[in-house]
Structure 1
Amino acid sequence: MLETLAWRDLNAYARQAYVEIAMVYDGKNNGFLGMGVRRLAERLNVTEKTAQKAIHELLSHGFVEVAEESGFNRKDRKATEFRLTDLLCNRTMAAPSKAYQKWHPGVIEAANDAAAKPAPKPARRAA
């Protein structure tokens, strides 16, 4: 993994973010790795914006995938949960995707950017 083109392309913050997310893994909770932007920013000693960029870089390079979203509209105040793509997902029992091995500049980023865009709202009907 450390010798892949994707890893070499990560900035230092993204590499450290990966380490912090991986430290939550206990051998049986991949897919339940909770790491919010605030918590990551505190652990990296950076701003929340920098932490968010690091997470986005890990997602776009295929090292982590979102297993369960979080957001301000959630009542349970749960952090986003991730899965490491080089390990079996304990949430879904899916095999490791190792998406980072397929990463090339512009390839996975385009797919993730398209997936990150919200679905268009249905048009309102005139009454």
Structure 2
Amino acid sequence: MAKRQRPKKPNVTGRNDTSRFVRLDYRILNSNAYRALSPNDRALLVELVMLYNGQNNGSLYLSVRDGAARMGVADVNAARRSFATLQELGFIQMTEDAFFQVKAKESSRARCWRLTWLAGPGRKAPSWEFLECEPEPKTQPRKRMERGQSALKAHRKARSSGQLPVLDSSTIDED
């Protein structure tokens, strides 16, 4: 019979070596720019944040092909559009462009990214650019942002008046 392993205890600094987590600040999730992101854009953002280890912001290497594979989409153009949208709305900045040569392995590399809400290389302060960014009027991201804002407003109004949708649902049996 196999011996059951106990979970590892935190080390002296209070950290657990077995598990990492991705932190998305509430300001990010509540911003207009985040509301304008498509599901693919949000998936790519999470994949980029997963590459961050606490010290490598500005050195997050992710190519369009690898981004598409990590997002689970077959269309490389969808990943390319997601990178462009995240840059346009101020969530990421490119720190180094891609450079590929067939015969020079040591100099070939994917694009390098920086997350704008985290401190960058050389202790560069976070810029939080996306807080001031909004999509152009009459575009799909703008419509997505406005729908998200109205849904949040309706939820906050219902919560403040004590009428949450789950409590007022017609699918709940009242005995």
After TM superposition, the score normalised by the length of structure 1 is: 0.78
Deviations 1:41-100 (Å, cap 9, x if unpaired)? 1111211100000110100010000011114469422110100000000x2421001000
Count of aligned pairs between the two proteins: 106
Q: Select the residue among 76, 84, 95 that pairs with 1:48.
A: 76
RMSD (Å) for aligned C-alpha atoms: 1.7
2:92 partner letter: V
Aligned to 1:84: 115
3-state SS in 2 of match to 1:65: strand
| 1:23 has 2:50 as partner | yes
Q: Is the 8 A contact 2:100 2:109 kept in 1?
A: no
Between 1 and 2, higher relative CO (CA 8 Å, sep ≥ 6) is seen in 1
Deviations 1:11-37 (Å, cap 9, x if unpaired)? 000000000011000000000000100
The structure with the largest alpha-carbon Rg is: 2
Unaligned runs of 5+ in 2: 1-27, 138-175
| 1:97 has 2:113 as partner | no
State the distance in 2 between where 1:77 and 1:49 align: 22
3-state SS in 1 of match to 2:94: strand
Aligned to 2:87: 59
Percent identity of equivalent pairs: 32
After TM superposition, the score normalised by the length of structure 2 is: 0.57
